[in-house]
Amino acid sequence: MHNFRPVTTIAAAQLFGTSLWFSANSAADDLARSWQVDTTDVGWLTSAVQGGFILGTLVLALGGIADRYRASRLFVVSALAGALFNGCFAWLSHGMGSALVFRFLVGVCLAGIYPLGMKLVVSWAPERAGSALAQLVAMLTLGTALPHGLRELGTGLPWQLIITASSLLAVLAALLIHRLGDGPHLPQPTKSKALPVRSGFTQPAVLQAFRIPAFRAAAWGYFGHMWELYAFWAIVPLLVSSTLLVEQYPVLGISGLSFAIIAAGAVGCLLGGALSRHIGSSRVALGALTASGSCALLFAVFWDHLPAATLVILLLIWGAAVIADSPQFSALSATACPRELVGAALAIQNSIGFAITVVSITGVSALFQLTGPEAVWLLLPGPVFGVLGFIVASRHQPLAQRYT
């Protein structure tokens, strides 16, 4: 219990810091009117953040930066820089060109917030990484749902002030982590080492992690999960608007239902974290990934036959399961690799995972325009390959390490 306060502090900082991620989404309608752009153009702002995040995590991982400096210091600098660039987006952007640049830079800064937040959790509470990381990802999930909640509330504030509020939250996140500092359970930062290979060249030390069967198994599961996750989140409003749910629940509307479905993931993360302390992260991760894939299959087959109430329940379960495996796969990855490589290993895993999301989001969005809700068939390969990849890779682990 003595680590409860640090983990809670990091989780709160993660929520505040990652509010930068989807801050532009809350202003989408205002931007479309102000800049005379369509919804697709505004969607590029999210893609710009994803691209910046991928570049940032690659630099952190391959350059050894994530383990060369204190995690708390990197988090604080990234949160402050992200707040600055987010503010520049709000007050200095006058069109899509400059907006894309600032959102890309926000994405780069987020690379120092999300994976470094996970490293901080491991540094404070390695003995309960699964449940602690579940709190962290639950906060990220609430941050994802927040724009839909703000829109449902119908705030009349100018969009620049809403964006600025995210910057202020990021500054608060930096203050929280600055005061907390690093935990005692990771080695002191050291210079990054390169791993010699037979060819005579060197490769970044982080690639050693992929030689570890337990890390490869967790990475396979995580990559399959990422194929489904962000693409699902991206089309939730489309799934709601393309069914009878809006007619049956007019008080909630598209934004209210979307918020509920995505926010259900926070509950899924917390339940999965609590369960992991009893049955292990592997079983929770595989169970959630299987449940999520099953929901995708059921929706794809029966979406136009189910009653509205049943459809809502299915989407809420899907929303809870689709993210519940994420902290468990991250916990498995963090505990599988040497502690001096935790930051870089999580960063490279995030980088590859988010690169996968760019492909799946683009694919499912394009397919949705052609087929409607049946486009969710494209999400199903993620859980399938994730489960199979995890099981196959796990066969190379020592028996005592499997499914713990």
- Per-residue confidence band for 54, with pLDDT thresholds at 50, 70 and 90: very high
User: How confident is the model at residue 126, as a pLDDT?
Assistant: 77
User: How confident is the model at residue 193, as a pLDDT?
Assistant: 46
User: How confident is the model at residue 249, as a pLDDT?
Assistant: 85
- Per-residue confidence band for 271, with pLDDT thresholds at 50, 70 and 90: very high
* Residue 372 scores a pLDDT above 50: yes
> Once rounded to an integer, what is the mean pLDDT over residues 95-109?
94
Residue 349 contacts by C-beta under 8 Å, 6 or more apart in sequence?
Answer: 219, 222, 330, 333
User: How confident is the model at residue 156, as a pLDDT?
Assistant: 66
> Once rounded to an integer, what is the mean pLDDT over residues 189-207?
51
The label of the residue with tokens 């325009």 reads 369
User: How confident is the model at residue 86, as a pLDDT?
Assistant: 95
pTM for this model (two decimals)? 0.79
pLDDT tens digit sequence for 136-173:
888 888 877 766 676 666 556 788 887 888 899 999 99
* Residue 390 scores a pLDDT above 70: yes
Cα–Cα distance for residue pair 23/20, rounded to 1 Å? 5
- Per-residue confidence band for 204, with pLDDT thresholds at 50, 70 and 90: low
> Once rounded to an integer, what is the mean pLDDT over residues 302-316?
93
User: How confident is the model at residue 347, as a pLDDT?
Assistant: 81
* Residue 198 scores a pLDDT above 60: no
> Once rounded to an integer, what is the mean pLDDT over residues 299-320?
94
* Residue 40 scores a pLDDT above 80: no
- Per-residue confidence band for 403, with pLDDT thresholds at 50, 70 and 90: very low
* Residue 7 scores a pLDDT above 60: yes
**The pair of three-digit structure tokens given for residue 4, joined into one six-digit string:** 């409860």
| Minimum mean pLDDT range among 18-32, 191-205, 237-251 | 191-205
> Once rounded to an integer, what is the mean pLDDT over residues 9-21?
89
User: How confident is the model at residue 1, as a pLDDT?
Assistant: 45
DSSP state of 157: S
User: How confident is the model at residue 4, as a pLDDT?
Assistant: 66
Could you count the other beta carbons within 10 Å of the beta carbon of residue 226? Answer: 23
User: How confident is the model at residue 94, as a pLDDT?
Assistant: 85
| Minimum mean pLDDT range among 109-123, 133-147, 173-187 | 133-147
Residue 115 contacts by C-beta under 8 Å, 6 or more apart in sequence?
Answer: 57, 60, 66, 343, 346, 347, 350
User: How confident is the model at residue 285, as a pLDDT?
Assistant: 95
Q: In terms of C-beta density within 10 A (0-12 exposed, 13-18 middle, 19 or more buried), how is residue 97 classed?
A: exposed
User: Average pLDDT over the chain, rounded to whole?
Assistant: 84
| Minimum mean pLDDT range among 126-135, 235-244, 317-326, 379-388 | 126-135
| Minimum mean pLDDT range among 6-15, 37-46, 374-383 | 37-46
Q: What is the dihedral sign for C-alpha 170, 176, 181, 182?
A: negative
* Residue 188 scores a pLDDT above 90: no
pLDDT tens digit sequence for 122-145:
788 877 777 778 888 888 888 777
**Domains, the chain, with CATH or none:** 4-183+203-401 (1.20.1250.20)
The three-state (H, E, C) secondary structure of 42-108, written as one string: HHHHHHHHHHHHHHHHHHHHHCCHHHHCCHHHHHHHHHHHHHHHHHHHHHHCCCHHHHHHHHHHHHH
